[in-house]
């Protein structure tokens, strides 16, 4: 028996999708896009105008004037609120002249205490010869307090016929006249103040020796001769002069060495002490 033939299955082709035609943008979309473009262009233009105006104001000095006006307004507001300097107090002054301190402090009374530059005032005060260190502080609401530590005079520097008072660091305090400080030793020689700090501090540790010292003479800018009031000369070495002064002070305390009629005491050689009496050949 003949079997019926099966019909071949045919694959169905997928249905083609219909592509929708793009709709033209609506009027509102076009208006929104145009607005955004105009806004961006306007913002960029405004930035350019502002920058140009800023440059013109700065070059013409208007920015500086505006800053000064703002600063003046802030100062006036501070004083109106009670932050006005009405009193200046001072501690530690003995030798420094009041008019020099007032000039260094600058105009303060009636000014805003919040805007008063205490660091600049401190720096100006420390430039005064007598002042070794200074501190300036605000005591709100209306007081500025100044505290100073003055230099201690240690010697009188003699140079080219002029006299200058110096401290134990060799810092010049002020010019002086002859006989103003008779109890202090003279420092003699070019460059002596800068080099005198060490020998002055070493000498300060021996009161009896310091009291007898008339002058410290710089020799060849290398070492010191100590000239005593009885005209004895103590020759110090270039190095270890402090130890040499200790030795002289110990000999003087033991047997009154420096009260004897001596021409000089030579300590330049660390291994040998040489003493010469007056009149010896």
Q: What would the pLDDT profile of 90-111 be if each residue is shown by its tens digit?
A: 999 999 999 999 999 999 888 8
Query: What distance lies between CA 122 and its chain's CA centroid?
Result: 9
- 62: confidence class by pLDDT, cuts 50, 70, 90: very low
- 188: confidence class by pLDDT, cuts 50, 70, 90: confident
Q: Indicate the domain borders of the chain.
A: 87-150, 153-277
Q: For 153-277, which CATH superfamily applies?
A: Cell division protein FtsQ/DivIB (3.40.50.11690)
Per the CB < 8 A criterion, the answer to whether 147 and 92 are in contact is yes
Same CATH topology for 87-150 and 153-277? no
Rounded Cα gap, residues 267 and 114, in angstroms: 60
Residue 83 in this model has a pLDDT that exceeds 90? no
5-60: per-residue pLDDT in tens? 555 444 555 555 554 455 555 555 554 554 555 454 455 545 555 555 555 545 55
Which of 61-65, 68-72, 215-219 comes out lowest in average pLDDT? 61-65
State percent of the chain over pLDDT 70: 70
Per the CB < 8 A criterion, the answer to whether 221 and 215 are in contact is no
Tokens of 94: 């003995």
Phi-psi group of 279: left, alpha or beta (phi > 0 → left; psi -120 to 50 → alpha; rest → beta): left
- 268: confidence class by pLDDT, cuts 50, 70, 90: very high
- With the CA atoms of 47, 51, 54 and 55 taken in that order, what torsion angle do they form, in degrees rounded to the nearest 10? -170
- 76: confidence class by pLDDT, cuts 50, 70, 90: low
- pTM here? 0.67
CA atoms in the 13 A half-sphere facing the CB of 8: 2
Beta strands 131-139; 143-150: pairing state: antiparallel
CATH no., domain 87-150: 3.10.20.310
Q: Average pLDDT, stretch 228-240?
A: 94
Among 227, 240, 237, which residue's Cα sits nearest to residue 267? Answer: 237
Average model confidence (pLDDT) across the chain: 80
Phi-psi group of 221: left, alpha or beta (phi > 0 → left; psi -120 to 50 → alpha; rest → beta): left
Sign of the alpha-carbon dihedral angle for 259, 243, 173, 219? positive
**Length, in residues, of the chain:** 281
Tell me which DSSP letter residue 268 carries: S
| 101, β-bridge pairs | none
How many other CB atoms are there within 10 angstroms of residue 231's CB atom?
Answer: 12
Rounded Cα gap, residues 220 and 145, in angstroms: 47
């Amino acid at each position: 028996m003949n079997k019926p033939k099966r019909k071949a299955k045919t694959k169905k082709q997928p249905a083609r999708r219909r592509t929708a035609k793009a709709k033209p943008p609506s009027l509102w979309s076009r208006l929104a896009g145009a607005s955004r473009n105009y806004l961006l262009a306007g913002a960029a233009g405004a930035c350019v105008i502002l920058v140009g105006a800023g440059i013109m104001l700065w070059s013409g000095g208007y920015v500086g004037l505006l800053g000064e006006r703002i600063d003046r307004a802030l100062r006036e507001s501070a004083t109106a609120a009670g932050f006005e300097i009405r009193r200046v107090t001072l501690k530690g002054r003995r030798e420094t002249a009041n008019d020099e301190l007032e000039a260094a402090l600058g105009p303060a009374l009636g000014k805003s205490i919040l805007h008063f530059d205490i660091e600049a005032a401190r720096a100006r005060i420390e430039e005064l010869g007598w002042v070794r260190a200074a501190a300036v502080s605000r005591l709100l609401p209306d007081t500025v307090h100044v505290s100073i530590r003055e230099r201690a005079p240690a010697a009188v520097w003699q140079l080219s016929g002029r006299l200058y008072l110096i401290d134990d660091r060799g810092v010049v305090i002020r010019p002086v006249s002859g006989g103003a400080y008779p109890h202090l030793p003279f420092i003699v020689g070019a460059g002596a103040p800068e080099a005198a700090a060490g020998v002055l501090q070493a000498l300060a540790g021996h009161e009896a020796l310091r009291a007898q010292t008339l002058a410290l003479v710089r020799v060849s800018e290398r070492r010191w001769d100590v000239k005593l009031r009885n005209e004895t000369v103590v020759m110090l070495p270039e190095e270890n002069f402090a130890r040499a002064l200790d030795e002289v002070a110990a000999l003087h305390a033991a047997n009154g060495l420096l009260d004897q009629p001596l021409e000089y005491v030579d300590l330049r050689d660390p291994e040998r002490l040489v003493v010469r009496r007056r009149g010896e050949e």
